[in-house]
Amino acid sequence: MLQRFPSLLCLVLLTLAQSLWAQVDISTKIEDIAIIDQKVMMPMRDGTRLATDIYRPKTDQPVPIIFSKTPYNFNSWGDGKQRTWTTKRAYEAVKRGYAYVVQNERGRYFSEGKWDILGLPKTDSYDAFTWMENQAWSNGKIGTYGCSSTAEWQMAIAAMDHPAHAAMVPQGFGAGVGRVGDYMEQGNWYKGGAVQMLFISWLYSVQNDEFRPRVPAGATQEDLQRISRFYDLASEAPKQDWKKAFAHLPVSDILKNVNGTKGIYDKMIQRKPNDPAWYEGGLYHDDMGFGVPSYWFVSWYDVSVSPNIALYNHVSQNIKDPKIANNQYLVIAPTLHCRFTRATEQTIVGERNVGDARLNYDELIYGWFDHWLKEEDKGFLTKTPKVHYYTMGANKWQTSEVFPPKSATMTNYYLSSEGQANSLFGDGLLQLTKAKADAIPDAFTYNPLNPVPSYGGNVCCTGGAIEGGSFDQQQLETRHDILVYSTPPLTEGVEVTGFIEATLYVSSDAKDTDFTLKLIDVYPDGRAYNLDETIQRVRYREGYDKEVFMENGKVYKLDLTPLATSNFFKKGHQIRIEISSSNFPRFERNLNTGGNNFDEKDAVKAHNKIHHSSKYPSHLKLPIVQKK
């Protein structure tokens, strides 16, 4: 084919050449300006050594440090994307006068010890800070920086308030949030008590196998530098069709069924939301302190947008030290997980165009570090808004002193129908008044073996099983097991910015089941774009520290885990919610038996109802921003 189309061949070769040249170019640039010290084996308090690469300016003056800790491979030899990214990050830091230090977590690649998904960040990171601040080339101030797995450890170490930890920039950090306020997600493992299946595919390619090859303990830095050119220690997981793999039952055997690695997943899948093990590792919980000025970066289509914002609010509002509480800043972008810099003049998230969502992230982040690590007073804190958030639909950046903005008023929208809200073609309504006393509940059958498929959404790391973002949900809404409630077309535009709360009155003939909810912006031509989604396992309706099962036909009040968004519903649009009992494989299926779920193969159908009478006023609370 390429012989028939020489121009295409030239384009392919040019793209490859540009990619290779860019990598060579950045490697040359960093060598010109930096002293590079690789495979430094930094000692921890128990004698374990962690592999660390250090890039620092060619100067005799002490400099501040930007520190990144990661479970991923950053070996600078070879052509991996992660390695190229690390070199670029180091170059950007060094040219601005910072040392850039990147370290592998305990047990990862050339680091010694045993790895755990929760790790030992509180002790290992604390020891790393102490080692770095005592180096002759350090000015004693350290900032932490990273997204996703390179951010999740930062909150727990911030709770320890190391004197050298002067500032941090966590991005897409939900995997480090354990329990905060209404959220008990334990590092994105759960939402509403249901397992988020993203970690199954993530662990398939990341978790250490118990039989993996290791470098002998005590290897010298010289030996490690030499062998790293030949032995990368990076495994390459065979590709899987995760749409198919996720469907396997029991859930506990999914990795075994695809010949996956043997590791910590086998234990983690058995944990319940309030298992003591969640409190032993590196997750941050809201009974912990916090001692670091922080610049938080969140995405509307990330897997954990709500608990991320809730943690920002917790630190801002509950930490007693005003220097800390008053120096928390937040950016919320209309992007996918860790995709901040991919916004363009016409930013497409899934299928929806949300306009020009660009922001100069380097200027913001290094302005933050310059203030706290270099003590350069250039007015950054006064010029920068406390909260910088993007409103979709209106397609613009907005600012506020708090989130939600003070002008947001919680407004009840009640569910209503004549008992036929099933599908897009039903009669479900969202209205400002309660339904009548004798309103007929809406019923549907949830079959775990024919679940509602995930289509777009606030996802990450599913191995290609789900494409994240906003997609037209119309085709999905033709299913009879989805209840659809919509406002009439709006006579004027409505901005919804903040947390969305939902209270449902439910009943079922099953001992346990799930209820899902999705918030939708419906365009005049019928396109229905998803904004956020949630789920609640009914057995945890009274708290995650106990399981209370249902009785056939009895009505229960169910408060769903809150959603979050900022969206302008234009005149002529409709506000819509979908309610069902599955969103798979975004969340594991509830097999409706009342059993463990993770070790079960057999499922039963659940006949579920949503009640919305004056006695059982199922409703949505929307944060409506009042016009000035």
Q: Is the distance from CB of 436 to CB of 417 less than 8 angstroms? A: no
Residue-level pLDDT at 77: 67
497 in Cβ contact with 572 (< 8 Å): no
Q: How confident is the model at residue 216 (pLDDT cuts 50, 70, 90)?
A: confident
Please state the domain count of the chain.
2
Q: What is the mean pLDDT of residues 15-43?
A: 76
The verdict on residue 267 lying in a domain is: no
pLDDT digits (tens, 9 = 90+) for 446-479: 999 999 999 999 999 999 999 999 999 999 999 9
Domain boundary among 101, 121, 150: 150
Locus of tokens 């290094």: 366
pLDDT digits (tens, 9 = 90+) for 362-408: 999 999 999 999 998 889 999 999 999 999 999 999 999 999 999 99
In a domain, 173, yes or no: no
What integer pLDDT is reported at residue 413 of this predicted model? 98
The two three-digit tokens of residue 332, written as one number: 């919320």
Contact 457, 476 (CB under 8 A): no
Segment 566-621, tens digit of pLDDT: 999 999 999 999 999 999 999 999 999 999 999 999 999 999 999 999 999 999 99
Question: What is the pLDDT, as a whole number, of residue 78?
Answer: 58
Which residue, among 580, 606, 587, 586, has the nearest Cα to 428 in the 3D structure? 580
Please report the beta strands in 284-347, taking only residues with DSSP state E, as ranges in sequence order.
Answer: 294-301, 328-336
Residue 250 lies in a domain: no
Would you say residue 403 lies in a domain?
A: no
Q: DSSP of 584-595, one letter per residue?
A: BTTBPPP-SSSS
Amino acid 261: pLDDT:
85
Residue that is last in its domain, among 126, 150, 174 = 150
Which of 421, 386, 433 minimizes the C-alpha distance to 580? 421
Report the pLDDT value the prediction gives residue 342, as an integer from 0 to 100.
87
At 235, the pLDDT band (50, 70, 90 cuts) reads: confident
Predicted confidence at residue 10, as pLDDT, reads: 44
**588 located within any domain:** yes
Alpha-carbon distances of 500 from 374, 382, 621, 624, rounded to whole Å: 40, 30, 6, 10
Strands 165-171 and 294-301: parallel
pLDDT value at 21 more than 60: no
Predicted pLDDT of residue 232: 80
Q: Is residue 511 a contact partner of residue 549, using CB atoms and an 8 Å limit? A: yes
Answer with the one of 93, 120, 150 that is the final residue of a domain. Answer: 150
Q: Rounded to whole angstroms, what are the CA distances from 307 to 285, 297, 299, 314, 461?
A: 11, 13, 12, 10, 18
Q: Is residue 14 part of a domain?
A: no
Prior bond of 307 cis (ω within 30°): no
Average pLDDT over all residues of the chain: 93
83 falls in which pLDDT band (50, 70, 90)? low
**Assigned token pair, 437:** 């006393």
State the amino acid at position 229 in one-letter form.
R
Decide if 577 contacts 534 (C-beta within 8 A): no
Burial class from Cβ neighbours inside 10 Å (0-12, 13-18, 19+) for residue 232 reads middle
**CA dist list (Å): 116 to 44, 105, 188, 277, 478:** 16, 9, 16, 12, 43
Q: Which two tokens stand for residue 578?
A: 């979908």
pLDDT above 60 for 80: no
Q: What pLDDT, on the 0 to 100 scale, is given for residue 626?
A: 82
- Residue 583 maps to which CATH number? 2.60.120.260
Res 213: pLDDT: 83
pLDDT digit string (tens) for 520-536? 999 999 999 999 999 99
- 552 contacts 509 by C-beta, under 8 angstroms: yes
Residue ranges making up the domain that contains 577:
408-625
Whose tokens are 């962690």? That residue is 50
* The predicted structure's pLDDT at residue 281: 85
Average pLDDT over residues 74-95: 79
pLDDT of res. 9: 42
What CATH code is carried by the domain that includes residue 90? Answer: 3.40.50.1820
pLDDT band for position 84 (cuts 50, 70, 90): confident
User: Is 583 part of any domain?
Assistant: yes
3-class secondary structure, 75: coil
246 versus 206: which is more confidently predicted? 246
Q: Quick check: is 183 in a domain?
A: no
Q: Which residue, 417, 464, 469, 419, is CA-closest to 444? A: 419
Q: What's the pLDDT band for 19 if we cut at 50, 70, 90? A: very low
Q: What are phi and psi of 284, to 5 degrees?
A: -95, 130
331: pLDDT strictly greater than 70: yes
Convert the pLDDT of each residue in 119-160 to its tens digit: 666 899 999 999 999 999 999 999 999 999 999 999 999 999
Work out the angle at residue 604's Cα, subtended by the Cα atoms of residues 603 and 610, and round it to the nearest 5 degrees: 125
Is the per-residue pLDDT at 7 higher than 50? no
CA dihedral angle for residue 130, residue 186, residue 169, residue 39, rounded to 10 degrees: 50
Q: What single DSSP character describes residue 370?
A: H
